[in-house]
Structure 1
Amino acid sequence: MPSQSEIYDNLSSLLNPSTSSRYRSSSEISDGLKRIRRVVLTEGIPEITGRPPLRPRIWKLMLKIDTLYSEDYLRWVGMGPSSDSHKIKNDTFRTLATDTQFKGKVKEDMLIRLLEAFVWKITSGETENEGQPFKYVQGMNVLSAPFLYAMPSQLEAFTCFSTFIENACPQYVQPSLKGVHEGLKLLDRCLEIVDPELFDKLASKNLKAEIYAFPSVMTLCACTPPLEEVLRLWDFLLAFGLHLNVLCVIAQLLLMRQELMDSPSPMKILRTFPPLDARPVIGVTVALVKDIPEDLYRELVAHPYAT
């Protein structure tokens, strides 16, 4: 088994192709991305003290970000409070409020600045996905938190967040939260297929995903501490697709399956999910993929962005 240092060096070499390979073919670039995804899946992104973090570069790569437009960001920040300022400030102080690690690094004014700038961007009509109308909705504050925590600058955090919202999960942030509700319906359908006994147990208590899984689906599990494990789960989701978060929530249910089956009141357990442990959740999620019928999986893949 390779050491963390060897994994780091392997990823670094994939992120920093040699000068001789500067002009790589599209197939070589595609192969490099596949290899990075494979390392993310099998080994995870190592964090080594004294060496530059790889996560920011890998996240930007997966989001297809190669340019940062600092003038645009500074212009939007300079426009001050937006029409949604009261909504934003009603959410930001509660963002990961119990996570001391997050609170120690990301101050509330950073969250406010990023979200206000995003509102000005979407108000100006300068979004990448012109087919989707955007407004500030509750949940954006939590979705922005991992980017502000993981990225070395607020400009990078903003660029990643706005690209992520506009291209990866636009249906999740529509005023109706259409994508979130669709994800919850898909969660029920998938759970009924992969574990009908557990599905029936929860259904017998009138526990549909809409009741117990709404925060986990809406925030892509970012609401479940600890944040370091959320980042590891997001490494996987950004590499392989946000649609897999629905199966990640099912994976968490399966990891506490016996407790749920034995409990006369499973909602007491589901009210607060256990602390996130990304590696077993990812392992179970990958195993679940093969159990989902092809037509249902296509719906799963499309639901974060399909209109």
Structure 2
Amino acid sequence: MSASQETTAHSFNRILNHTKSTSKPRATGEPDDGTRKLRRLILVDGIPSSVDSTLRPRIWKILLRVNDLSADRFLCYVARGPCEVREKIRNDTFRTLATDKGFKERVREDMLVRLLDAFVWRNHDRQESSQLGFTYVQGMNVLAAPFLYTMPSEVEAFYCFAKFIEECCPLYVQPTLEGVHRGLKLLDRCLKIVDPELYAHLRSKNLSAEIYAFPSVLTLCACTPPLDQVLQLWDFLLAFGVHLNVLCVIAQLLLMREDVMASPSPMRLLRTFPPLEALPVIGIAVTLVRDLPTEGISSLYLIEYCILSVAFKDQLFKSRYNRTSNNKIPQQIFVLAEIGAYVFELAIQVSRASILDVPVRQCLSLLPMHHIYLESPPLSQ
């Protein structure tokens, strides 16, 4: 345990305690200053879970804006017993993170089954009031795993998972996996501009993101061990938006670029990605965002419910994988976070047709306090 980690843990606790004690009402859509500070600290120092194991669950609940933790309601769902797709759930849960001993010791299969059953029952009751319906689909077991591993109780894990699925990536878990397929197409487009040589090499082998990146996009990289690195990457994704997972998958490709380019059969390498290293992956993703010119923010396009399309410019990526020596943080990353945090409210205010392919600045003008999202948020703590 280093002194710097203890200092970081103290900084997190100070922000969390202040956020908890602050009862000042905020206007709808107004950014929370405490959340901004949490995002900055996550990006700069990371969450020191080894020093204070309570930090990550508390921070995730704030980032997901989870306030309702009704144990009675959760127990009512559980009391209903197996849901209509229980067999499908059981076909997947037994192999969830099967090679991770730490996960298996902490999270039993019956906990996964119980959470997923309850989620299906929850949305069975909400079908009439919800625009999108939810049931169990492939990959949900892996998406639920980090929450059960991280949260101190099944109740907290359930509500965090439900909020995550229903508001952060709802199109990813529709029966057609529409959001996943959109993300894969976006990955191909981004890679073509970020590294045209690597893209051309993969295409010459008839490899598209649909073939080699499907699990990573579907599970937000949770399918790639080790779990402690997945949790660190998810700290970043929950703080700044799950849409950045596309850049994180590209980052993993760039880290193995030399081997992929030299291989006559790159699919052999891509079938199983190397062990995840969160910090380099985050560093590359942040570099890509940093290199977007100022007007690049308006080149981002909103697709319903946090599916963002990035229109990169030529020569965006120039082998600058790591953070700059002066440790400056790209202001765009904070703007993207605010966009992601409030896109759900935006989706409610405008129809799906008007969201597709509409520039961010035009969409954000529909939101209260929209000018905040178009300016660089303060970095001071």
**If the TM-score is normalised by the length of the shorter chain, which range does it land in?**
over 0.9
Residues matched between the structures, number: 304
Q: Report the Cα distance in structure 2 between the residues aligned to 1:4 and 1:291, rounded to whole angstroms.
A: 29
Alignment of 1:182-221 (within 5 A): 182-221=182-221
Q: Report the Cα distance in structure 2 between the residues aligned to 1:146 and 1:9, rounded to whole angstroms.
A: 24
Residue in 2 that maps onto 1:31: 33
Q: Report the Cα distance in structure 1 between the residues aligned to 2:154 and 2:59, rounded to whole angstroms.
A: 17
Q: Does 1:9 align with 2:10?
A: yes
Q: Which amino acid aligns with 2:264?
A: P
Residue in 1 that maps onto 2:98: 97
Residue pair 2:94, 2:109 contacting (<8 A) in 1 also: yes
Q: Does 1:286 align with 2:286?
A: yes
- How many angstroms does 1:26 deviate by? 4.0
Q: Report the Cα distance in structure 2 between the residues aligned to 1:256 and 1:185, rounded to whole angstroms.
A: 21
Which 10-residue stretch deviates more, 147-156 or 23-32? 23-32
Alignment of 1:192-271 (within 5 A): 192-271=192-271
- TM-score normalised to the size of structure 1? 0.93
What are the Cα deviations for residues 106-130 of structure 1, in whole angstroms up to 9, with x where unaligned?
0000000000111111111179x81
Distance 1:217 1:29, change over 3 A: closer
Q: 5+ unaligned residues in a row in structure 1: which ranges?
A: none
Distance 1:22 1:154, change over 3 A: same
Structure 2 SS opposite 1:274 = coil
Residue pair 1:194, 1:291 contacting (<8 A) in 2 also: no
Q: Report the Cα distance in structure 2 between the residues aligned to 1:9 and 1:194, rounded to whole angstroms.
A: 38
Q: Does 1:298 align with 2:301?
A: yes
Q: Report the Cα distance in structure 1 between the residues aligned to 2:152 and 2:221, rounded to whole angstroms.
A: 22
Which 10-residue stretch deviates more, 31-40 or 79-88? 31-40
Q: Report the Cα distance in structure 2 between the residues aligned to 1:290 and 1:187, rounded to whole angstroms.
A: 18
Structure 2 SS opposite 1:298 = strand
Q: Report the Cα distance in structure 2 between the residues aligned to 1:196 and 1:82, rounded to whole angstroms.
A: 47
- How many angstroms does 1:262 deviate by? 1.2
Q: 5+ unaligned residues in a row in structure 2: which ranges?
A: 309-343, 353-381
Going by fraction, where is helix more abundant, 1 or 2?
A: 1
Q: Report the Cα distance in structure 2 between the residues aligned to 1:219 and 1:42, rounded to whole angstroms.
A: 25
Structure 2 SS opposite 1:17 = helix
Residue in 1 that maps onto 2:180: 180
Alignment of 1:132-211 (within 5 A): 132-211=132-211
Residue pair 2:252, 2:281 contacting (<8 A) in 1 also: yes
Distance 1:23 1:135, change over 3 A: closer
- How many angstroms does 1:100 deviate by? 0.8
Residue pair 2:217, 2:245 contacting (<8 A) in 1 also: yes
Q: Report the Cα distance in structure 1 between the residues aligned to 2:99 and 2:36, rounded to whole angstroms.
A: 36
Residue in 1 that maps onto 2:121: 120
Structure 1 SS opposite 2:185 = helix
Q: Report the Cα distance in structure 1 between the residues aligned to 2:68 and 2:98, rounded to whole angstroms.
A: 32
Distance 1:219 1:296, change over 3 A: farther
Q: Report the Cα distance in structure 2 between the residues aligned to 1:39 and 1:22, rounded to whole angstroms.
A: 19
Q: Report the Cα distance in structure 2 between the residues aligned to 1:157 and 1:66, rounded to whole angstroms.
A: 13
Query: Larger relative contact order (C-alpha < 8 A, sep ≥ 6)?
Result: 1
Q: Report the Cα distance in structure 1 between the residues aligned to 2:240 and 2:54, rounded to whole angstroms.
A: 20
Q: Percent identity?
A: 58
Q: Report the Cα distance in structure 1 between the residues aligned to 2:170 and 2:44, rounded to whole angstroms.
A: 29
- TM-score normalised to the size of structure 2? 0.75
Residue in 2 that maps onto 1:75: 76
- How many angstroms does 1:48 deviate by? 3.4
